[in-house]
Structure 1
Amino acid sequence: MLLRVVHQNEYVYAPPVKTAQHMAHLKPAHDAHQRLASHRLRIAPEPEQLREGVDVFGNTRAYFSVQSVHERLEVVADSLVSTTTTPPIDNDISWEDARERMRYQRGSHYDPAAGFAFASTYVPRHERLLEYALSSFTAGRPLVDAARELMHRIHEDFEYVAAATDVGTPALKAFELRQGVCQDFAHVMLGCLRSLGLAARYVSGYLLTEPPPGMPRLVGADASHAWLALYLPRADGAGEWMGLDPTNDRSPGEDYVRLATGRDYADVSPMRGVIQGGANHTLKVAVTVAPVPKFGA
């Protein structure tokens, strides 16, 4: 499926900003399962410096500097992405075996995915999360089956409420509330899996949403999305990552666009920066995800 993604961030400042340094994760991933056909980043006012780099997780990020006084900053990422269906998972490893392979053992092969089994900024390893997860992770159960049941339980037990949390809400707070948005659903499930000693990473991106029958597609009406990927080790070499979306209780397919991966939201936030001035500001975000023939229809 060929999808066009337009992600617009508009900041309005008061008083004006004198200088600004920003970093953006707005360029979709390009790999064997997702091909980036084109990408353009438009910034106004035009930055004095703009460059790309690759972070430790393999994500492409842009750095830019605006040295002129400005009351408004607009950043628009326009991308064409070719997505594919997710291949079937053929891995029957038990969750206990998967956990053991993430533990350090002297003289054993080190799997880089083990770094995603530790706590991170928003996602702790905690007894309450462990207790919740163990209802699904019974003795000897295949990792894939147990993880899918945990995903389903989170989907059923938690309520999607946009105003309940913000981007800085940690996983334990969202777990206590039993409310939140896709970021919180992903963080809670990550905390459950890591508390078991399993490796899992946060995924930011987009989800194609179709309007109700007979209704037009509204440009800018979509939003960023977040889910997670669980690592499935293999005895004969590198393992594989299985996507899980507890917000929608499903595995990601060709209607998902991956933007970046990290330990949690703190590693892959779409925009962050340091500004001089602009003590008060407002942010408007508009996202459109659509098949290319239908874009703007």
Structure 2
Amino acid sequence: MSWQIRVEHSTGYRYASPVVSSYNEARIIPQTGGGQLTLEAMVRTEPAATTYRYWDYWGSQVTAFDVHLPHTELVVTGRSLVRTAPEPERPVDAPSWAALRGDDVADRYVEFLRPALYTPEHPELAAAGLELAAAHSPADFIVAVGDWVRDRLEYHAGTTGVHTSAVDAWRQGEGVCQDFAHLACVLMRAAGMPARYVSGYLHPVAEAEIGQTVAGQSHAWVEGWFGEWWGFDPTNAVPAGQRHVVVARGRDYDDVPPMRGVYSGGTSSSLGVTVNVTRLS
């Protein structure tokens, strides 16, 4: 069954000296589509700024804003109300590996089959992806990839950063959800299955009480195409379902950062990120 979830996401920066101009993009508004419906959404900035929205190349909604008043802190807060999609069934009429590796799929999904900045090619990872594909049907392959990734990465917060590649995390043997998703994408693409990186939020409690606000998480998972897109969370070994709120999709993290911008002023430090989620139904 679907859930209705309220999400509040706040992120901020402090500057060593006053910033006189900054130009920013935020990807913190959940998407509508694929069974998910965003009922309400707003983005507020401190200092206050006029915002405008557009959809980027990958279909993610971007809130853009400029600040031209001197400021030493910038805080961006997004609030949204979302009806999430229930846990999906795996496609029953999945194409064969031969069909997935055919020209039609390659032409249609070429951008989700090629390497990207944080999901580069690597011969050992390519061999692992092909070995898993040889042992599993396309419908079972993503789950097997998730098992492979969890066997090789330990979840340790703070051991990697947003600029860590899948190969670096694999060599290090630890990481966070972003690294799990990146590594899964590398294996899936190497085997010939289109794979996209999904960024959003996760409600951490499977049996959440109605009306209780808890600390949520910015989260990442993957979607593979085998007849249709199907989402799987390799960090938690579950299909992407009612606890997952989709915000953005792309080839890897570089296509979906929650905040991106440039500014004129002193060095910056993060004020941190907080995510609060409340299940309303």
Does TM, scored on the shorter chain, surpass 0.5?
yes
Q: Please tell me whether residue 128 in structure 1 is matched to residue 128 in structure 2.
A: no
What are the Cα deviations for residues 35-63 of structure 1, in whole angstroms up to 9, with x where unaligned?
0000011111011x421111111111011
User: How big is the shift at 1:97?
Assistant: 2.5
Task: Give the deviation of 1:94 after TM superposition.
Answer: 2.6
Give 2:93's aligned amino acid.
N
> CA separation in 2, counterparts of 1:94 and 1:65?
49
For the residue of structure 1 that corresponds to 2:245, the secondary structure is strand
- The answer (yes or no) to whether the contact 1:230–1:242 under 8 Å persists in 2 is yes
Give the Cα–Cα distance (whole angstroms) in 2 for the partners of residues 132 and 177 of structure 1. Answer: 17
SS of 2:254's equivalent in the other structure is helix
| CA displacement, residues 113-138 of structure 1 (integer Å, 9 cap, x when unaligned) | 23210111111122111122233211
Match among 261, 264, 267 for residue 249 of structure 2 = 261
Task: Go from structure 1 to structure 2 and tell me whether the alpha carbon gap of 1:174 and 1:102 turns closer, same or farther (over 3 Å shift).
Answer: farther
Aligned length: 277
Question: Structure 1 residues 278 and 96, CA, compared in 2 at 3 Å: closer, same or farther?
Answer: farther
Which amino acid letter does the alignment assign opposite residue 269 of structure 1? P
Name 1:236's counterpart in structure 2: none
1:18 CA displacement: 1.3
The answer to whether structure 1 residue 41 and structure 2 residue 43 are counterparts is yes
Cα gap change, 1:114/1:280 in structure 2, threshold over 3 Å: closer, same or farther?
closer
- 113, 121, 124: which one pairs with 1:117? 113
1:281 aligns to what? Answer: 269
* Identity between Structure 1 and Structure 2 (%): 34
> Is this contact kept in 2: 1:102–1:199, CA < 8 A?
no
CA distance change for structure 1 residues 213 and 68 in 2, over 3 Å: closer, same or farther? Answer: closer
What is the aligned counterpart of 1:226 among 207, 220, 223? 220
Report what 1:210 is aligned to.
205
1:180 aligns with 2:172: no
Instruction: State the distance in 2 between where 1:129 and 1:62 align.
Output: 36
Contact 1:5-1:289 within 8 A present in 2 as well: yes
Query: Hey, what's the Cα distance between the residues in 2 that align with 1:9 and 1:198?
Result: 35
- Give the secondary structure class of the aligned counterpart of 2:146: helix
Between stretches 260-269 and 13-22, larger displacement belongs to 13-22
Shift of 1:198: 2.2
CA contact (8 A) 1:244 1:250 kept: yes
Instruction: For 2:159 and 2:166, locate their aligned partners in 1 and report how far apart those are by CA, in whole Å.
Output: 13
The offset of 1:76, in angstroms, is 0.5
Counterpart CA distance in 1 for 2:206 and 2:87 is 24
CA distance in 2, matches of 1:258, 1:213: 19
Of 190, 193, 198 in structure 2, the residue corresponding to residue 198 of structure 1 is 193
| Equivalent residues of 2:94, 2:226 under 8 A apart | no
2:159 is the alignment partner of 1:164? yes
| 1:248 aligns to 2:236 (yes or no) | yes
CA contact (8 A) 1:12 1:72 kept: yes
Bigger Cα displacement from structure 2, 187-196 vs 59-68: 187-196
Residue equivalent to 1:146: 141
- Seen in structure 2, the aligned counterparts of structure 1 residues 263 and 42 have a Cα distance that, compared at 3 Å, is same
Task: Say if 1:174 and 1:288 are closer, same or farther in 2 by CA, change over 3 A.
Answer: same
Give 1:281 shift: 1.9
Structure 2 partner of 1:78: 79
Structure 1: state its 5+ residue gaps.
105-109, 234-239
Question: Could you report, residue by residue, the CA deviation over 1:228-257 in whole angstroms, capped at 9, with x for unpaired residues?
Answer: 100113xxxxxx101111100111111110
In structure 2, how many angstroms separate the alpha carbons of the residues matched to 1:22 and 1:103? Answer: 35
CA distance in 1, matches of 2:274, 2:115: 32
Q: TM-score, normalised by structure 2?
A: 0.92
Tell me how far 1:70 sits from its aligned partner: 0.5
Q: Contact 2:212–2:279 (CA<8 Å) still a contact in 1?
A: no
Secondary structure in structure 2 of the residue aligned to 1:37: strand
Counterparts of 2:180 and 2:98, CA distance in 1: 24
Kindly indicate whether the alpha-carbon contact (under 8 Å) linking 1:201 and 1:264 is maintained by their aligned counterparts in 2. yes
Change (3 A) 1:100 1:211: closer
Instruction: Supply the distance in 1 between the matched residues of 2:43 and 2:261 (Cα, whole angstroms).
Output: 16
Q: Which moved more, 1:180-189 or 1:124-133?
A: 124-133
For the 8 Å contact 2:22–2:261, the answer to whether it is kept is: yes
8 A contact 1:25–1:269 mirrored in 2: yes
Is the contact between residue 29 and residue 260 of structure 1 (CA under 8 Å) also seen in structure 2? yes
